[in-house]
Structure formats: C-alpha cells, structure tokens
Amino acid sequence: MDRELAMEFVRVTEAAAIACGRWMGKGDKIAADQAAVDAMRTMFDSVNISGTVVIGEGEMDEAPMLYIGEQVGAGGFEVDIAVDPLEGTNLVAKGLPGAIAVLAIAPKGGLLHAPDMYMDKIAVGPKAAGKVHIDAPVKENLKAVASALERRVEDLTVVILDRPRHASIIQEVRDAGARIKLITDGDVSPAINVGIEGTGVHMMLGIGGAPEGVLAAAALKCLGGDMQGKLWPENDADTTRAQKMGITDINKILTINDLVSGKDVIFAATAITQGDLLNPIRYFGGGVRSHSIVMRHSSGTVRFIDAIHTYDRTPLFIKRA
C-alpha cells in the first residue's frame, strides 16, 4: 500500500472522532455511535482503495453501513478493513477517558475475520515480545515482563477490564504485587499504550471482544509488541458463528500473526476523550483540534498528528450540530 494512504486513513478516524465528540457526556451512546459511523463511512468514499469491511458494525442485516462484507472506497488497492468508529460508546456517553475512533487496514486476507464474541487476551510491548504465554500462570507472565523490562514486578501496571469474570485474574495480579488499572470499557486503547514506552502500562490481560482483539493486534504488530488470544465462546451459537467464519479450532491459541497476517498493515486512531497517549477532541470558536496516531508495519513509522480543522473548510458532517 502507498504510504500516502496512511494520512488518508487518519482523516477517516478524525472525521469519526470529530462528529462523535459532540455527544460527549450527553448520555446517548447510540447517537454518539451513529454520528461516528456516518462520518467514517462518508469519509471512506474519498480514499483510493477498494476495501472490504471484515470487522465492522455487525452483519448486513444488523447494520445499515460499515457492515461486514460492505465495499468501501473510491477504487484502488484491494484491502481488508477492520473498523470501530467509536470504541467506547459508554465512555463518550459518560464523558469518561479512553474513547477512540480506530481502524486497521491490511492487504486482502491480512486480517482475521473475527466473530462477534469474546476473546481471552494477553498483550505486551516490544521488549517483552515472545516472553509471555496466554496459558502460563499470571505470576509467571508478570515475572517474564519484569525481567524483560529490567524492573521488579511491583513496578508493573496491568490493564484489566473491570468485570466479574476477571475477579480471579485481578486477585492473581494483586497477589504477585503488580499494580492494576481497571477500565470500564474499550481495550484497544490500552493495547496501544502497552506498545509504547512512557505510558505507564506494561501488560493487558483478560477477556474482551474478539473484533477489538484484531484491532489491538494490528496496533501491536506495527509497534513490535506481542499479543495472544483465545476465543471464549459463551454458548453453542458462538462456536457455530466462529465456524461459519472459517475458524475450525475454537480452542486454538491465536498468535499476533494469526490475528494479523498481513505485512503491510496500517493502523490509525483518533482520540475522542482524554487518553494516556492521545489528547481529546477539543472544540473552539472557529473549529476543532484533534490528536491521532498512525502506524505502518512495513516502515516501522509511528506518527502523532496534532491537527486543527476550521469550520469553513471541513466537510459538513463535522461542523457544528
């Protein structure tokens, strides 16, 4: 893929974040999500790709746009696309930190077609890549990460979704002596933080969405980090759904290269609310300011884009409501 496309994808996530950010704290997660979806889908029409949505808003009969299988783009490179126009709907509705607009692009066949179900995950940064295993005891994984980072377990911070299903993992981390950052929603943003030094996050553990797992893996692959996942079906319907999407072994440990096999992967995200790494959408009298990250695996580049958009020169869908 042409490197210039990376900036085009940033414009796609910027549009979603700007349109959705108007709903921060208004208590309406559905309206916030719809605003992000509408803006992202519209902006895709200006990008020179022939894209197929492989991870999106749901099946065709569940979502009017950005549904799985939808064709987007103005024509060009054939790519697979994973999108989450608003990762953290509750976060935006409540004005909480960590919400982002995010996408990952890879050559056709380069992204796992993950079913809409749960996935158990472990994610670490570049220095700890290859040092952990999803089936290893939590304490052993923490020791491995601490050793790789040349610090004590007590110096590590682990991000975990605050859910009853994680009670035992949380206790194991506490017993090992590491610190914990519990989050209410959205585990793609913490995965990015794990891959970049200075964010204060060293590992992500626990069960979250499988589609989000692919997005997280795309970011970590660009950053040189590592991730493993195992699908976590809740019932027979989940298993059947996975099989229909080509996953024959529901218990297989999915490596980062299983999740994202493409080598020319591009990942882009724009913050909507405040994050550990990115600043939130900020509106002012004449426009809006956004903060994004875009990464390319093939070149190893990681760019932070601090942009100002003026109301008289931007598309209608990101102007004032």
SS (H, E, C) 137-180: CHHHHHHHHHHHHCCCHHHCEEEEECCHHHHHHHHHHHHHCCEE
- Whole-model pTM: value is 0.93
Mean pLDDT by 10 residues, the chain (321 residues): 82 96 96 96 94 88 86 94 96 96 95 92 97 97 98 98 97 98 93 93 96 96 97 90 85 95 92 95 93 94 94 59 45
| 150 Rama sector, left if φ>0, alpha if ψ -120 to 50, beta otherwise | left
pLDDT of residue 176: 98
Residue 164, annotated as binding a ligand: yes
Residue 11, annotated as binding a ligand: no
Residue 226, annotated as binding a ligand: no
Residue 212, annotated as binding a ligand: yes
| Rounded Cα distance, 208 and 204, in Å | 11
pLDDT of residue 267: 97
Residue 89, annotated as binding a ligand: yes
pLDDT of residue 1: 59
Residue 163, annotated as binding a ligand: yes
Residue 88, annotated as binding a ligand: yes
| Domains located in the chain, CATH noted | 4-111+265-310 (3.30.540.10), 118-259 (3.40.190.90)
Residue 33, annotated as binding a ligand: yes
pLDDT of residue 301: 93
| Rounded Cα distance, 237 and 240, in Å | 5
User: Residue with structure tokens 């940033």?
Assistant: 10
pLDDT of residue 321: 45
Quick one: tokens of 203?
């590992």
pLDDT of residue 246: 83
| Rounded Cα distance, 260 and 312, in Å | 39
Residue 185, annotated as binding a ligand: yes
pLDDT of residue 81: 97
Residue 209, annotated as binding a ligand: yes
pLDDT of residue 162: 96
